[in-house]
Amino acid sequence: MKAFVVYNPAAVSRHDWPVIAAALKTVFPRCLTIASPGRGHAARLVRDALREGHAEIVVVGGDGIINEAVNGFFEHGLPLSPDAVLSIVPTTQGDTCLGRVTGVNAALNLARVDARPRDLGHVSCLTPDGAAVTRFFLGAASFGITGDIARRMNRARLTAMPGARFHRGVSEILALAHWRACHVRLMADQGHDEIDGIAAVGILNAASFGGGLKAAADANPADGQFDIAILGGGKRAGIRKAMTRLRAGDDVAMRRWRSTRLTAALTLETRRPVLVETDGEAVGMLPASFAVLPNAIRIRL
C-alpha cells in the first residue's frame, strides 16, 4: 500500500515543495500526495486514507495541519487504525515540533528514525454557541490570551509569505490590545488553584505562550503526565513583559504542576469567554477538561 502524503500549500513555498516532494519519494517510493484544500480538510483526508488501508500517513506543514492529521487518526474518540504511523515533516519551528529539523532535511530524516508510541492530549470544551467539542493534541494546549491569539491567527489568510511569524506577531499585538483579565479555577490531581492570566497544558512537558514556547529540560513525550505551566497577572503590560521573559527562557514568573488530568472553569468574576487552543488551533472556550492518553499514536519524526 502506498504512503499517503497530505501537505499544506499555504505553509510550503513553491520553491520548497518540489524539493520536499522529491525527498519524500526517496523515502517512500510509492506514495499518493494530496494538497489539503483548506483549514479543516486534512483530518477528513487522513480518515479516508486510513479507511482505505493506508498504514503510513505523512503530513507536511505547520502546527495546524499536523494537529488536523493527528485528529484524523480518530473517529468518535476511537483510533481508526491503531498500528498506523504518522510521519511528520514540519516546515516551521512550531510549538508541536520545536527543536526538530524542518523542510527537506525533515523529509530525509524519516528514513533514519523509527516510529515510536507517543502520548496524546485530549481536551473537551465548548464551542462559542455552547456545543460540546473534543480535540486531540500532540504538542500543547493553552487558554487565556493564547486562545485569543490562536483565534486571530486562524482567521488570518496565512500564506508562505510573509510567514507565520509575521501573522503571530500581529495577532499577539491585537490580542493584547483587547485583553481583559480572566479568573479561572484549576483542578488537577494534587489539588486546586485559582489563576488570573494564562495557563498551558503541555503533553511534551512544554508550555505554549502566544507563539513562543518554554520547554522543560526533562521533556518526555511518553511519561503519561502533563506539564502544566501557569502564568498569572491581569494587566496588559505585565502579561506582555512576562511573555517576553518566557520566550527568552526566564521562567521566574511561571509555576509548574505535573498531573494526568486538569479541569479549568470560569469563576463568577469572569464575564467574557476564555478561549482554548490546541497546537495553535482555536478549538473552543472554557469550561474544559484535559486528559493524557498514554501511547495513543505512533509517530515518526
Q: pTM of the predicted model, to two decimals?
A: 0.86
Residues with Cβ < 8 Å from 128, sequence gap 6 or more? 273, 284, 285
Polymer length of the chain: 301
Q: What is the pLDDT of residue 195?
A: 67
Rounded CA-CA distance 128/180 in Å is 18
CA 214 to chain centre: 14
Residues with Cβ < 8 Å from 122, sequence gap 6 or more? 134, 135, 136, 137, 290, 291, 292, 293
Helix (H, G, I), strand (E, B) or coil at 94: coil
Q: Inform me whether the pLDDT recorded for 219 exceeds 80.
A: no
Is the model more confident about 209 or about 168? 168
Are 247 and 214 spatial neighbours (Cβ–Cβ below 8 Å)? Answer: yes
148-183 per-position pLDDT tens digit? 888 888 887 554 446 666 777 788 788 778 877 777
Cis peptide before 162 (omega within 30 of 0): yes
Are 75 and 104 spatial neighbours (Cβ–Cβ below 8 Å)? Answer: no
Q: Inform me whether the pLDDT recorded for 275 exceeds 60.
A: yes
Are 71 and 141 spatial neighbours (Cβ–Cβ below 8 Å)? Answer: no
Q: Inform me whether the pLDDT recorded for 131 exceeds 70.
A: yes
Kindly report the backbone phi and psi dihedral angles of residue 260, in degrees, each rounded to the nearest multiple of 5, phi listed first: -90, -10
Q: Which CATH architecture has domain 121-295?
A: Sandwich (2.60)
**Cβ neighbours of 53 (radius 10 Å):** 11
Q: Inform me whether the pLDDT recorded for 222 exceeds 50.
A: yes
Query: Band of the pLDDT at 75, cuts 50, 70, 90?
Result: very high
Rounded CA-CA distance 290/140 in Å is 11
Is the model more confident about 1 or about 145? 145
Task: Give whole-number Cα distances, 129 to 65, 267, 268, 270, in Å.
Answer: 25, 19, 19, 18
**Which homologous superfamily does the CATH classification assign to the domain defined by 3-113?**
Probable inorganic polyphosphate/atp-NAD kinase; domain 1 (3.40.50.10330)
Helix (H, G, I), strand (E, B) or coil at 109: helix
240-274 per-position pLDDT tens digit? 666 666 566 555 556 777 788 889 888 877 778 88
Query: Band of the pLDDT at 21, cuts 50, 70, 90?
Result: very high
Rounded CA-CA distance 221/293 in Å is 11
Q: Inform me whether the pLDDT recorded for 65 exceeds 90.
A: yes
Average pLDDT over every residue of 118-133:
92
CATH 2.60.200.40 residue ranges for the chain: 121-295
Angle between helices 236-247 and 164-177 (to 10 degrees): 150
86-95, 134-143, 165-174, 259-268: segment of lowest average pLDDT: 165-174
Is the model more confident about 209 or about 17? 17
Residues with Cβ < 8 Å from 48, sequence gap 6 or more? none
Q: What is the pLDDT of residue 237?
A: 67
Query: Band of the pLDDT at 140, cuts 50, 70, 90?
Result: confident
Are 224 and 239 spatial neighbours (Cβ–Cβ below 8 Å)? Answer: no
CA 147 to chain centre: 12
Query: Band of the pLDDT at 108, cuts 50, 70, 90?
Result: very high
Cell of 209: 505562550
Cell of 60: 507536511
CATH 3.40.50.10330 residue ranges for the chain: 3-113
Q: Which of 78, 275, 291 is nearest to 180 (CA)?
A: 275
Kindly report the backbone phi and psi dihedral angles of residue 237, in degrees, each rounded to the nearest multiple of 5, phi listed first: -60, -40
- 33, β-bridge pairs: 5
Average pLDDT over every residue of 216-221:
50
Q: What is the pLDDT of residue 208?
A: 33
Q: How many CA within 13 A on the CB side of residue 187? A: 8
Is the model more confident about 218 or about 201? 201
Q: Inform me whether the pLDDT recorded for 277 exceeds 60.
A: yes
Q: What is the pLDDT of residue 249?
A: 56
Q: Inform me whether the pLDDT recorded for 115 exceeds 60.
A: yes
Q: What is the mean pLDDT of the chain?
A: 81
